[in-house]
Amino acid sequence: MKATDNKVGFIPRGIIPAVITPLTAEEKFNEKAMRKLINYLISGGVHGLFITGTTGEFYGLSPEEKKEIFQVTMDETKGRVPVYAGTNGITTRESVMLTQMAEECKVDAVSVLTPLFITPNQDQLVKHYKDVAASTSLPVILYNNPPKTGVNIAPATVAKLAEVPNIVSIKDSSGDLTLTAEYIRLTQDRKDFSVLMGRDTLIYGALLYGATGSIASCANVAPRLCADIYEKYMAGDLAGSLKAQFALAPLRIAFCIGTFPAVIKESLTLLGIEAGPCMDPSGPLTHSEREQLSKVLIGMGLLK
């Protein structure tokens, strides 16, 4: 069921790539490359698309560019999988503006990162998310990524926000599986709220605790492998799911080779999929770093 068919009760599930934003050499949005990437991901078995998130370099995109990405993605996807749009802002009014714009573009749901640069307390986070949720009829996904923002959503705060009808999920990129498990434990009685893993090395572990899927950067490069973690788990093949999780690990660990999200874009380029550069100052990998990444991809069987 698509979120737009039933705003309340929509539960994000499966493997949802945190889609890169393909750019030209001049750092302009590359529509043609985006359309090709969307089809590559869907043919790889993913269960949704998450655009203009951290991996999508949302922080460097203007509202006009984000709107174009929303429109192109919806046009190319054609309802085959749900589309989730990152509507992140430092201020509440910015997130509200982007959320309403995303709704006008008919995306299926939005994801809202905690404000960055500033450090709101938990009461302020509650107000921020409630105000964003009140501004839209779309399902809203909370997005916790303290390594990037310095702000952490406390489990009790998530439990409180889960009571808001159209706040339907949280993506946790903390890398702290205990925290993820607490989100699940404190919301497990709410059948209309789910938890998504945001750290690609912990998808299997989160599924064991009760997560409903993952928003995964690595799924840009290895969509089928990421989908296998989820699909094998759901089919009861725990050994197969764990095997796929271990097979994916080297790519996520390789993120340290360059400045994020360079490893994802360089991996796609090595696989013959147009991705373009990262936005400056996140420059390309050096020759030696690219060779190191190539060895990782060859070891995973993704590159010959």
How many CB atoms within 10 Å of residue 64?
10
Helix (H, G, I), strand (E, B) or coil at 257: helix
Residues contributing to the annotated binding site for pyruvate: 55, 215
Say which of 143, 183, 204, 230 is annotated catalytic: 143
Helix (H, G, I), strand (E, B) or coil at 241: helix
**Residue 171 is a catalytic residue:** yes
Question: Sign of the C-alpha dihedral, residues 79, 266, 213, 95?
Answer: negative
Q: How far apart are CA 85 and CA 98, in angstroms?
A: 9
Q: For residue 206, how far is the Cα from the chain centroid? A: 15
Q: For residue 13, how far is the Cα from the chain centroid? A: 12
Helix (H, G, I), strand (E, B) or coil at 20: coil
Say which of 66, 67, 171, 265 is annotated catalytic: 171
**Residue 160 is a catalytic residue:** no
Positions annotated as catalytic residues are 143, 171
